[in-house]
Each structure stands twice: as structure tokens, then as C-alpha cells.
């Protein structure tokens, strides 16, 4: 996982996505983000990633339970940008382009990013 | 910040190590990008999976995802005692042995009555410049004996394909790719396997080469190697026996791509590529899958 984390770090540094501050999500928004992440017909993050409270999670992608989102992405906007089009950040990554290919709406991606951001202590 | 530096230095070290290893090891991404010809492709794929799963024998690839989980394998062995697919097999046998209006049977269309023939299927026909499958040959047999061809996907045709393929049970897959036309069809199939498609933007290889043996939710991802050897197969998800090409349609749909038609040149070429790469894996039809 560290190797993957570092790859993301290095590439994020190279890409330097625009940063815009977004308001901290409410508890309701976090719950909504979790629901999208768990839902098979929406984010379906559990297909590939372990998330706290998720049952029968896949192990194709990194375990996100203790993933250092803040260190890797610096701010939530960069995480939103990553989920929107991971390929832009990490070429050949095996992760759907959730925003670019309209799997999720921009608002849904923001909710998911807010939920993931909230996982860190 | 300290943590970040540690992560960075640790991972740089790991990256260097893996770069050193990858000098000899095969990277899955490269498998699809080099036009090295069929023989080298087969050899590289076998080597790649050997590196991924050093303890697994070629024979075990016939088990697909069941090779990766003991508990699931036990369930598989129990299921195979009374494989619901055997009903389709029996139906296929009955159809295979039924007489045509001219008194002949399907066996008359194949050398040795069809025994061991399917191990070399699909094959490239240099006269018609295309990949020929069991379904096509069965229909051609009907036509030449005064019967109408069956629609692809028709349950009788699936049953006939199942029985015909089962006549090669226990034999290793032995598909040939020889000549410029055959190689071109093979490369088309290979390209399809590695082409990203659909809303999720996955290729077949994204999962079945890169992540074989890993879990998508509760499902174990089967490796490319051996996937062709148990089709037509019973899948509980289908509640029926169906073909490898039917499975392609399901995979295409799952990633949000428009599926091709059964027996389209795309799917036949794909079938050809996948089956050739599985050469050496023993045929076991009908298989049983979740």
C-alpha cells in the first residue's frame, strides 16, 4: 500500500490540480456519501476496497480503512478530482472514471469524498 | 509530514526493488501491448501466471476461481457430484444421436464421430478466412443434411455444443494458430481482451490478468488461463448451461459496454485467442460455476 500511496503522492505533485476550499460536510452528508460508496448501483467502492463496516469487500484496490487521505491528497478537492478521473492522475490505473464517465454526479463524488475524508482520525 | 517522508522513502525503496524484479518478471500491462505472435504470447501468459501463482499447476487452472479457495473448492466438488449441467448434457446427447431425415447423425459431420475434435476448436479456416466455432459447424452439419440452422443461443444448440465439447473431456486444449490469417484473427482477439470499454472503462485483462485470484466483493476473479476449458458451463447465476460467448456478453454489459452478437467475428476472435492461450488445460464440460 505504501508504494501505491507514494505513487499517488508523486503524481499528485506533478499534476498540481487546482485547489478550492469546500465546506466541511455535515453528518448527514457523510452518511449519504457512505451510502453511495456502499451501494452496488452507485459508487460500489466495496467491490474493490475495504471500508469500515462494509461486508464482503473486495481486495483489488488498497484498503481504505486506514488510508492516509490527508497525506496523499492534501485537501478534499484533490480527492474529488481524483475520483472524477483517476486515470489523469495515475495512468493505467484500474479504477473507473466516476465523474468523467458519468458513473456518479459531481455532487455524489463530493459526498463520497467527504465520507472518505471523515474516516481519518 | 514526518509520516509522509517515511512513506515516501519506504515506497521509493520498494519501487526500486520492484523495478529490479520486473527486469525479469512479466508485467501484465506489457502482455497486451506487444505484438509478439501467438507462440510467444502463450509462453508469456503461462510464465506470467506461473510467477503470480508459483504453486499452481497448469491442470489446476481448469478449476478457475475454485483453485484459490479451499472451502469454495469443496463446495465445487460437492456440486459436481450432481451438476445441474448434466441435464443439458443429456439433452445434447439425445439431440446428437437423433437421426436426420437422411438417416445420418451429427457424428457423420465430424472426424471420428466428433471424439476429441472440440479440443482443437475454435479453429481458423483459411478457405473462408475466419474463425470457425462449434456452433457454426453444428449448424453447417444441419444445413448439409436438410435441416434449418438453429439460432445462436438456442437451447438445443447450446445443448449440442455442450455434448460435442464433452466428447473431448479430459483432453488438453490444443488449438492451432498457423498462417497469416490465423495470426491476424488471434491478434484481433487479443486486442479485444485488452481494449478498455464501457462506462467503467475496464478491459477483460484489467481483472482476469491483473487481479486473478483477488476478490471483487465476495467473488474470486478467475484467471484468463483455463477460462475456455469449462464452457459450455452451468452457472448458478444463469440457472442454466450456456457458452463462453454468452459470458462475454455478460462481461461487456457489466462494464457498461454494448455487447457484440453471439458468433460475431469479434467474439469468435476473442474465443480463439482465449482458447489458444489455454492450450494444455484439460477440457471439462459442462463445468459448474457460481
Whether residue A20 has pLDDT greater than 90 = no
A7 touches chain B (CB under 8 A): yes
User: Domain residues of chain B, as ranges?
Assistant: 2-7+21-82+187-289, 85-166
> Between chains, do B8 and A6 touch, taking CB under 8 Å as contact?
yes
- Tens digit of each residue's pLDDT (9 = 90 or more) over B112-171: 999 999 999 999 999 999 999 999 999 999 999 999 999 999 999 999 999 999 999 999
pLDDT score at B11: 47
A94 touches chain B (CB under 8 A): yes
A121 touches chain B (CB under 8 A): no
Show residues of chain A in contact with B12, CB under 8 Å.
6
Alpha helices per DSSP H over B145-258: 155-166, 180-194, 204-208, 244-254
Active-site residue B17, yes or no?
no
Whether residue A7 has pLDDT greater than 90 = no
- Tens digit of each residue's pLDDT (9 = 90 or more) over A66-92: 999 999 999 999 999 999 999 999 988
pLDDT score at B255: 95
- Tens digit of each residue's pLDDT (9 = 90 or more) over B48-85: 999 999 999 999 999 999 999 999 999 999 999 999 99
- Tens digit of each residue's pLDDT (9 = 90 or more) over B180-203: 999 999 999 999 999 999 999 999
Domains B2-7+21-82+187-289 and B85-166 alike in fold: yes
B93: three-class secondary structure by DSSP? helix
Contact (Cβ atoms closer than 8 angstroms) between residue B258 and residue B252: yes
Q: Find, in chain B, the residue whose alpha carbon is nearest to that of A41.
A: B254
The candidate with the shortest Cα–Cα distance to B264, out of B208, B209, B206, B189, is B189
The candidate with the shortest Cα–Cα distance to A114, out of A24, A43, A37, is A24
> Between chains, do B216 and A102 touch, taking CB under 8 Å as contact?
no
The per-residue DSSP string of B96-139 comes to HHSPPTTS--GGGGSGGGGTTTGGG-SEEETTTTEEE-HHHHHH
Query: Does B85-166 carry CATH code 3.90.1010.10?
Result: no
Pick the CATH number of B2-7+21-82+187-289 from 3.30.420.40, 1.10.760.10, 1.10.10.60, 3.40.309.10: 1.10.760.10
Distance in Å, alpha carbon of A43 to nearest chain B alpha carbon:
11
Nearest-angstrom CA–CA distance, B277 and B274: 5
Q: What is the pTM of this model?
A: 0.88
Whether residue B13 has pLDDT greater than 70 = no
pLDDT score at A3: 54
Find where cell 450456456 sits: B242
Q: Smallest Cβ distance to B11: which of A5, A48, A56?
A: A5
Nearest-angstrom CA–CA distance, A35 and A108: 10
Amino acid at each position: 500500500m505504501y508504494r501505491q500511496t507514494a505513487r499517488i503522492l508523486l503524481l499528485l505533485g506533478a499534476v498540481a490540480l487546482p485547489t478550492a476550499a469546500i465546506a466541511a460536510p455535515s453528518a448527514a452528508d457523510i452518511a449519504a456519501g457512505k451510502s453511495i460508496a456502499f451501494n452496488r448501483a452507485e459508487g460500489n467502492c466495496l467491490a474493490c476496497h475495504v471500508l469500515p463496516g462494509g461486508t464482503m469487500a473486495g481486495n483489488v484496490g488498497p484498503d481504505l480503512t486506514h488510508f492516509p487521505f490527508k497525506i496523499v491528497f492534501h485537501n478534499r478537492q484533490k480527492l474529488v478530482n481524483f475520483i472524477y478521473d483517476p486515470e489523469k492522475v495515475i495512468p493505467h490505473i484500474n479504477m473507473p472514471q466516476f465523474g468523467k464517465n458519468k458513473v456518479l454526479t459531481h455532487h455524489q463524488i463530493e459526498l463520497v469524498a467527504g465520507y472518505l475524508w471523515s474516516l481519518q482520525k | 509530514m514526518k509520516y509522509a517522508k517515511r512513506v515516501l522513502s519506504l515506497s521509493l525503496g520498494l519501487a526500486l526493488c520492484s523495478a529490479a524484479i520486473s527486469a525479469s518478471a512479466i508485467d501484465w500491462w506489457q502482455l497486451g501491448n506487444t505484438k509478439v505472435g501467438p507462440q510467444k504470447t502463450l509462453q508469456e501468459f503461462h510464465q506470467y501466471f506461473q510467477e503470480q501463482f508459483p504453486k499452481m499447476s497448469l491442470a489446476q487452472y481448469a478449476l478457475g476461481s475454485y483453485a484459490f479457495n479451499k472451502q469454495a473448492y469443496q463446495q465445487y466438488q460437492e456440486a459436481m457430484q450432481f451438476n445441474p449441467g448434466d441435464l443439458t448434457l443429456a439433452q445434447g446427447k439425445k439431440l446428437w444421436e437423433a437421426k436426420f431425415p437422411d438417416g445420418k447423425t451429427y457424428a457423420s459431420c465430424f472426424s471420428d464421430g466428433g471424439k476429441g475434435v472440440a479440443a482443437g476448436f475454435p479453429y481458423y479456416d483459411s478457405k473462408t478466412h475466419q474463425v470457425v466455432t462449434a456452433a457454426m459447424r453444428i449448424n453447417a452439419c444441419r444445413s448439409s443434411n436438410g435441416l434449418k440452422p438453429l439460432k445462436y443461443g438456442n437451447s438445443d444448440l447450446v445443448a449440442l455444443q455442450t455434448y460435442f465439447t464433452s466428447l473431448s473431456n479430459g483432453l488438453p486444449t490444443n488449438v492451432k494458430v498457423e498462417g497469416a490469417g490465423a495470426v491476424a484473427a488471434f491478434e484481433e482477439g487479443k486486442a479485444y481482451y485488452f481494449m478498455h470499454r464501457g462506462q467503467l472503462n475496464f478491459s477483460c485483462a484489467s481483472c482476469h490478468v491483473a487481479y486473478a485470484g483477488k476478490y471483487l466483493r465476495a467473488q474470486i476473479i478467475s484467471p484468463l488461463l483455463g477460462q475456455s476449458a469449462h464452457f459450455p458451463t452451468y452457472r448458478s447465476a444463469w440457472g442454466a448451461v450456456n457458452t463462453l460467448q454468452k459470458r462475454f456478453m455478460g462481461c461487456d454489459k457489466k462494464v457498461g459496454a454494448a455487447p457484440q452478437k453471439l458468433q460475431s467475428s469479434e467474439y469468435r476472435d476473442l474465443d480463439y485467442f482465449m482458447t489458444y492461450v489455454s492450450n494444455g488445460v484439460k477440457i471439462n464440460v459442462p463445468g459448474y460455476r457460481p
